[in-house]
Structure 1
Amino acid sequence: MGRDFASNPRQVLSQLGALPRRPGDPLRVSYGHAGFPDPPPGLDTIVYGGPLKYSYLQQHWPHAGRHFDIIYAVSTSHRSDLERIARMAQRRGGKLVWNQNGVAYPAWHGPGWEQSNVPLSKALHAADHVLYQSNFCKLGADRFLGERNGPWEILYNAVDTTRFTPAEVDPAPGQLVLLLAGSHQQSYRLESAARAVEILARQSSDVRLLVTGRLSWTSDPSEATRSAHRLVAECGIADRVEFVGPYLQEDAPAMMRRAHVLLHTQYNDACPSVVIEAMACGLPVVYSHSGGTPELAGDDAGVGVPTELNWEQVVPPEPQALAEAVLQVAERRAQYAEAARQRAVEHFDFQLWLQRHREIFSELLS
């Protein structure tokens, strides 16, 4: 079906949109991911970010294909021609809900960032309702996509706090295990963490670093892997670092429970799900105080390393400051861990996120 759309978009566009609804009809939701109108990937594949939201939502609203009441799309994983699809569907009574994560800007994207923002801007302004994943997401969108006139709200990412739970026993007694997780698209994320561990190792023999996720800062993954191993060897911490690689979402809670503290070094991360997943597992967070991460961690779930807001260049967190923040958290790890878990349950539980989607969908079709 996705290939049909690419080869004959006009014909397929004519088949899109809402069919007449009768009272009591189930809500029909489609997901405007890159492969639309095919269904998005499920949780049995390695998914993260935007595709993960589709995977969770379609467990409650199965993908309706071409005939839908609502088309739901995430800015990090969508068809580039989504705005055209939405306009055609809206003429037939369909609605577009747009979930806005980060935007392209010079420091993160490099040359060509303006062109990459064009489809985001079109979809954002065409949407019937916009969900910004954090206040930082709205700040970036207003600046680079244009401030929108229609309905919008801040809706943070969510976590299933019944699956992501704290470890029942200490995963590594007598040690301090730091977790560096997520999508490593920039090498500084690992370098900042490795240099911080190098500093900590001079003071303590019990620190370890667990690195999960894909190393993808070069076009050749094997080269990224080789450079990562060279880095930890240069820092003298090769025996303290374990590279796990990508993992299935069903394995994520167990992976989180192997560590004591999440070390989140990404600068200007818009709304990192890995942060709230770690918090739900009782991991305090040491992080770059930038992007949307401070909104997630709040005042009690970890320690942020101060930095500046800069759209023109990346400002990696200083290793010395990261190491000092880790030591601060380690001194009161039990209190930080309890606060992290409590904050995840109270503010970011998946059921709250799901209920807000039900309300929005109902309001749009009323």
Structure 2
Amino acid sequence: MTKLIVFSNMYPSDQHPTYGIFVKNQVQLLRDEGMDVSVIAIEDPSKGKIAKLQKYMSLFIRGFFSLLKNRKTLNLTHAHYVFPTGMLSYWGKRWFNIPYVVTVHGGDIDQMPKKSKMARKWTERILKKADAVITVGEKLKQDVVREFGVSINKVHVISMGVDQTVFYVMPQELSRESLRLSKEETMLLYVGNVIRAKGIEDLIEAYKQIAYTKEKLSLYIVGSQKDAQFATLVKDRIETLERVHLIGPQPQTTLAKWMSAADVFVLPSHHEGFGLVALEAMAVGVPVVGTNVGGLPHLLKDDAGILVEPHNPSSLAEGIEQALNRSEERYTEVKQRIVEEHSYPVLAEKLKTIYQYVGRS
């Protein structure tokens, strides 16, 4: 039986059920495959320097003692996000000769290395010393190889995948009825963290540009309001708009209903490692409009969705109008093929192959 520790700076809790849910889903997938998986993770999304310092000190202390206790029986460790979380796997290899895999999610190489020379140095060190590097998108793979000098032979593209037992095509009318939404409204939906980098302000501006063209056009912004200051700004922006609603985080089963209820799903991110939430929307069948950043061009290729320019409300408005005006089946063959490529059984086989190759016996 493969025994490993998963380190992550995001993991859900009862108080924050969607915080890093994709990591928890992958852990459960590994356990379902018969692996012995322990988790050392941060479950609190609160911001601030003191809170962050306390969270990471706790993570590193718990991680160190777990490595020490299990040093003789672990096959490998798997870190989600490179720096600073990946330092635990790095030191586990240095101290106890435990191989490790690290998954790159996007911001950990797009943003974190730019914060300081130390962050850049550690990011490169962790990536180069890893026995295997997983990126959730093709562009991230290119960035890891080109910008950090990692051998292309040990970089693998594996998304976090879509749970098809949760995200699947369901009747739109029934979903709206379940959520107590009007059957007459034309509904735009965003799901994700309510932060500036997700392009929420662009989305609100795009909505204002087209609201008068569609009768009963509504916008629902669903997600965690981790940044209180920005969330307040968003509330101020939508205060005078009748059909714009800010909804808190929801369980995944409820999110699937929200997606099914929508006429168009919009992901206006300024940067995006892969765009997992867009994949989940595709699995439900709703038309997707996304910005031309990160992994979204690859995910929405072959007319699987509509790409627009980031930081550009007018382009976003045009993409939304295009999605609303064209008639299409909610679940096309192209969408089905892409969803199957990222299904849990496919991803489980890829992960098992990597673990067997790099893990010690």
Cα distance, 1:360–1:333 mapped onto 2, change above 3 Å:
farther
Matches within 5 A, 1:123-202: 123-148=126-151, 151-170=154-173, 171=176, 173-186=183-196, 189-202=199-212
Preserved contact between residue 284 and residue 333 of structure 1 (Cα < 8 Å):
no
Distance in 2, Cα, partners of 1:331 & 1:47? 35
Normalized against structure 1, the TM-score is what?
Answer: 0.76
Question: 1 CA distance for matches of 2:2 and 2:254?
Answer: 31
Displacement of 1:89: 3.5
> Alignment partner of 1:257: what SS?
helix
Q: Is the contact made by 1:102 and 1:140 (CA closer than 8 Å) also made in structure 2?
A: no
Give the secondary structure class of the aligned counterpart of 1:63: strand
* 1:304-329 CA-partner distances (Å, limit 9, x unpaired): 014xxxxxxxx51x222112111211
User: What is the alpha-carbon distance in structure 2 between the residues aligned to residue 264 and residue 228 of structure 1?
Assistant: 16
| 1:30 and 2:2 matched | no
Q: What is aligned with 2:224?
A: 214
- What is the Cα deviation at residue 42 of structure 1? 6.5
| Amino acid in the other structure paired with 1:194 | I
Where does residue 249 of structure 1 map in the other structure? 252
2:320 is the counterpart of 1:320? no
1:136–1:112 Cα change, 3 Å: same
Q: Which residue of 2 aligns with 1:282?
A: 285
* C-alpha separation in 2, matches of 1:251 and 1:87: 43
Alignment of 1:224-263 (within 5 A): 224-233=230-239, 236=240, 238-263=241-266
Structure 2 gaps of 5+ residues are 39-65, 177-181
Counterpart pick for 2:214 among 193, 199, 204: 204
| Structure 1 residue 63 corresponds to structure 2 residue 33 | no
* Residues 58 and 305 of structure 1: CA distance in aligned 2, closer, same or farther (over 3 Å): same
| Percentage of pairs with the same residue | 20
1:293 to 296, 299, 312: 296
**What's the CA shift for 1:178?**
1.2
The code of the aligned residue for 2:351 comes to H
The alpha-carbon deviation at position 80 of structure 1 amounts to: 3.6
Partners of 1:173 and 1:253 in 2: CA distance: 17
Q: For residues 251 and 203 of structure 1, what CA distance do their matches in structure 2 show? A: 29
In the alignment, which of 99, 105, 111 is matched to residue 101 of structure 1? Answer: 105
Which moves more between the two structures, 47-56 or 326-335? 47-56
* Kept after mapping to 2: 8 A contact 1:99/1:131: yes
Aligned residues of 1:161 and 1:344 also touching (Cα < 8 A):
no
Q: In the alignment, is residue 345 of structure 1 matched against residue 339 of structure 2? A: yes
Q: 1: CA distance between counterparts of 2:4 and 2:188?
A: 40
Deviation at 1:227, TM superposition (A): 1.4
Contact 1:117–1:144 at 8 Å: present in 2 too? no
Rounded to whole Å, the distance in 2 between the matches of 1:271 and 1:350 is 16
1:110 deviates by 9.4
Deviating more after overlay: 163-172 vs 97-106: 97-106
The 3-state SS of whatever aligns with 1:32 is strand
Q: CA deviation at 1:228?
A: 1.0
Counterpart code for 1:363: Y
Within the candidate set 335, 347, 352, 1:358 is matched to 352
> How far 1:165 moved relative to its partner?
0.9
The answer to whether the Cα contact below 8 Å between 1:47 and 1:249 also exists between their aligned partners in 2 is no
* Distance in 2 of aligned mates of 1:110 and 1:137: 14
Unaligned runs of 5+ in 1: 1-25, 307-314
Aligned partner of 2:58 in structure 1 is: none
Aligned residue for 1:300, secondary structure, equals coil
Instruction: Report SS of the residue matched to 2:355.
Output: helix
Whether 2:90 is the aligned partner of 1:83: answer: yes
Matched length: 317
> What are the superposed Cα offsets for residues 47-96 of structure 1, whole Å, 9 maximum, x if unpaired?
22664455434543342454211211111682544311123343xxx321
Checking the alignment, whether the CA contact within 8 Å between 1:329 and 1:336 is kept in structure 2 is no
Query: 2-side partners of 1:359 and 1:245: how far apart?
Result: 38
Cα 1:75–1:104, aligned 2, differ >3 Å: closer, same or farther? closer
Cα-Cα RMSD: 2.9
Q: What's the CA shift for 1:34?
A: 4.7
Q: 1:254 to 1:119 in 2, by over 3 A?
A: farther
- Aligned letter for 2:105? N
| 2:75 and 2:99 in contact (8 A); partners too | yes
TM-score, normalising length: structure 2: 0.77
- Shift of residue 358, structure 1, vs aligned partner: 1.6
**Contact in 2 for aligned 1:104/1:113 (Cα 8 Å):** no
